[in-house]
A = this chain, B = another copy of it.
Amino acid sequence: MGASKAGLIPRALAGWPVKDDNQVMSGHHEYRGEALADAARGALTRAGEQWTEMRALIFDALARTRGPASAYDIADAVSKTRGKRVAPNSVYRILDLFVDNNLAKRVETQNAYVANAHPDCVHDCIFLICDDCGAITHLDDDELANSMRSRALDTGFRPANPVMEVRGTCKSCAA
């Protein structure tokens, strides 16, 4: 869909910190709760974008949600918390902005989004998605990601945005 279809502008080509050999950088810190919102605001403003009331509300809704949230889920949640309807397209606009600026990640196999726990640094992330309970685990494995990029480069393909998502059963559901 959407972000991936018309929003086809490869992120790495849109100015993400990707090294010359097309391998992303590493080293990072994870945030939670209020600190996460602060980190997100900082990252967005440093990118020259505004941190508006609406954006704060949407980021908050995203960060509160355990597991992935669809744009429509977020629209409903924010509509409720502020007492006035938010149209889904407004949510999409802001989610796209978040994804472009590394504040959020899109989960392709779920048509959904998750907040990025470390907006400061860029990784090709791996999602482990439980088909039973819907829980999502977010891994960063630069070695694996770089293997995938290398593999693509070997064929002459210039990788921009690797998607690595594993459907299966999480630890607690498998027990």
Contact = CB atoms under 8 A, between A and B. Distances in A.
Interface residues of A, number: 46
29 contacts: A4-B109, A4-B110, A4-B167, A5-B6, A6-B6, A8-B131, A9-B131, A10-B131, A10-B169, A108-B109, A109-B163, A128-B157, A128-B159, A144-B144, A148-B164, A148-B166, A149-B166, A156-B170, A156-B174, A157-B174, A158-B169, A158-B174, A159-B167, A159-B168, A160-B168, A160-B169, A161-B168, A162-B167, A163-B167
Interface of A: 1-2, 4-6, 8-10, 20, 22, 108-111, 126, 128, 130-131, 137, 139, 141, 144, 147-149, 151-152, 154-171, 174
| The 6 nearest A-B residue pairs measured at CB | A156-B171, A160-B168, A161-B167, A159-B168, A158-B169, A8-B131
A20 B160 contact: no
Given A4-B167, A144-B151, A158-B174, 5 more contacts: A126-B148, A137-B157, A158-B168, A162-B164, A164-B164
Given A131-B160, A163-B166, A154 B6 contact: no
A160 to B, nearest CB: 4
A58 B137 CA distance: 36
Contacts of A137: 155, 157
Contacts of A5: 2, 5-6, 110
A4 B2 CA distance: 10
